[in-house]
Amino acid sequence: MSFISYLINGISLGSVYALIALGYTMVYGIAKMLNFAHGDVIMVGAFITYTMCSTMGLSPVIGVLAAVVACTLLGMAIEKVAYKPLRKAASPLAVLITAIGVSYLLQNLATYITGGIARAYPDIPFLTQVMQVGSLNVKRITIITPILTILLVVVLVILIQKTKIGMAMRAVSRDFETAQLMGIKINSVISVTFVIGSLLAGVASILYFSNYGQVSPMIGAMPGL
């Protein structure tokens, strides 16, 4: 039965990485840029949950919602402040360097604020409760993660295939200039893409760190890669 246990845990962890990659590749596919700060947005979301639950003593539900909102707003801010001014940069290297710079900025800000010390991620009872599945004891999050990932992928596919903003995303992904000539607002489409990607990062943050157990300023680099 240990093989089945390893298999379930592997599927759960792989689902988290898939969710992280989904937000990352959306930005790359449409904006044609590598958002190296994506993993650090996930890290910030984890620290928001830690602050809300462990430091301020608020409900885990509030901490979880705050993480999703914070990641979404942070992604919007990064896109507006750092990436949008470079949209028409002569060299794509400028955007790449800026993305790396934003990643280092978030890491060092988190290090400065927290002292660089790892923190125990708050216990979210609904996710960490142990369930009996046959003869196996598994955390509820292990079962929820793959299901939630599949649901989010289905919702995203429907959004891209069946809605106007999805059609605009596909057009921008195919050809920037032609899409602009057709009246599509490129900046708005890319902003929406960052919002969706950052929202997925917020959800991934909750799933990843609930399973991992602790958060540190540099930990966002690994899931980001």
Q: Model confidence over 194-203: pLDDT tens digits?
A: 889 889 988 9
pLDDT classification of 44: cutoffs 50, 70, 90: very high
- pLDDT, average across residues 159-180: 86
Is the model more confident about 1 or about 29? Answer: 29
pTM score, whole prediction: 0.86
pLDDT classification of 65: cutoffs 50, 70, 90: very high
For residue 44, give the nearest of 1, 112, 106 by alpha carbon. 106
pLDDT digits (tens, 9 = 90+) for 78-117: 988 888 888 776 577 888 888 889 988 999 999 998 888 8
Helix axes 38-50, 92-114, angle to 10 degrees: 20
Cβ atoms < 10 Å from Cβ of 211: 18
Output the six-digit token pair for 129: 């409760």
pLDDT classification of 224: cutoffs 50, 70, 90: low
Percent pLDDT > 90 in the chain is 18
Rounded to the nearest 5 degrees, what angle is found at the Cα of 222, between the Cα atoms of 16 and 30? 70
